Amino acid sequence: MSYTLYNSDGSGSFIVEAALIMAGAEFTKIEIDTASGMHRNAEFAAINPMKQIPTLVLPGGEIMTETAAIVIYLAQQFAGKGLSPEAGTPEQARFLRWMVFMSANLYEGALRVFYTERYTTDEGPAGLAGVKAAAENSMRTACAVLEADLARHGAWLSGPSMTLVDVYFTMIHSWTPEMADTSAMPKLSALSQAVRADALIAPILKRHGL
């Protein structure tokens, strides 16, 4: 019984692949080339009507979308593999808080930066530039919240060691590095560097070109 991951290298499917590898789960990947618009074909739209990557089919056939939900689900399925802190602990509360925070503020912010035209009906240069600038500002504000939390708690976002919430941050940081540069956000930059140096995660990042 195996998972099926609809993948596009460099996209949010990176973190789902990282989760499956950390878990030691059996999975196959189906490549969906978003650059050529393959995610908009009828076959994939029938699987994920939002036409987005990542999409994960569970061994029993259930289809999951939404990166944070998938990661949280896998962390529960593979408890004890280091994907997230133990259930019921304060560290798990922080893990859940920041997973959802990043989905709502950073992933969504990055989508506003990359697909700006979808977020306004004012498609003139000023309209688009305004949406993009506002997205970048809100991402910097969200990063400042994370930076302040690291200043209180330590090197990692959800406890004494790296979990997938740190990997999630690093993925989005690699898409939009300007949201947390080294001088303004030294702790987040150090976290990203530490994730990049992790022996398990580094080759997956490389494979995804991140």
Applying CB under 6 A, the residues found at the interface with ligand GSH are 11-12, 34, 39, 52-54, 66-67, 103, 107, 111
Q: Give, as one character, the DSSP assignment of residue 118.
A: G
DSSP H helices, the chain, are: 13-23, 42-47, 67-77, 90-101, 108-114, 125-153, 164-175, 186-196, 201-207
Question: Judged by CB, which is closer to ligand GSH: 16, or 187?
Answer: 16
Cα-based distances in Å from 66 to 11, 99, 155:
12, 11, 27
CB 199 → ligand GSH: shortest distance, Å?
Answer: 25
CB 179 → ligand GSH: shortest distance, Å?
Answer: 15
Q: Are 200 and 21 in contact (CB under 8 A)?
A: yes
Question: Judged by CB, which is closer to ligand GSH: 31, or 86?
Answer: 31
Question: Judged by CB, which is closer to ligand GSH: 53, or 83?
Answer: 53
Question: Judged by CB, which is closer to ligand GSH: 53, or 167?
Answer: 53
Beta-carbon contacts of 175 under 8 Å, excluding residues fewer than 6 positions away, are 110, 114, 210
CB 67 → ligand GSH: shortest distance, Å?
Answer: 4
Give me the residue whose beta carbon is nearest to ligand GSH: 52
CB 184 → ligand GSH: shortest distance, Å?
Answer: 24
Beta-carbon contacts of 93 under 8 Å, excluding residues fewer than 6 positions away, are none
Task: Quickly list DSSP for 16-61.
Answer: HHHHHHHHT--EEEEE--GGGTGGGSHHHHHH-TT--S-EEE-TTS
CB 66 → ligand GSH: shortest distance, Å?
Answer: 5
Question: Judged by CB, which is closer to ligand GSH: 14, or 27?
Answer: 14
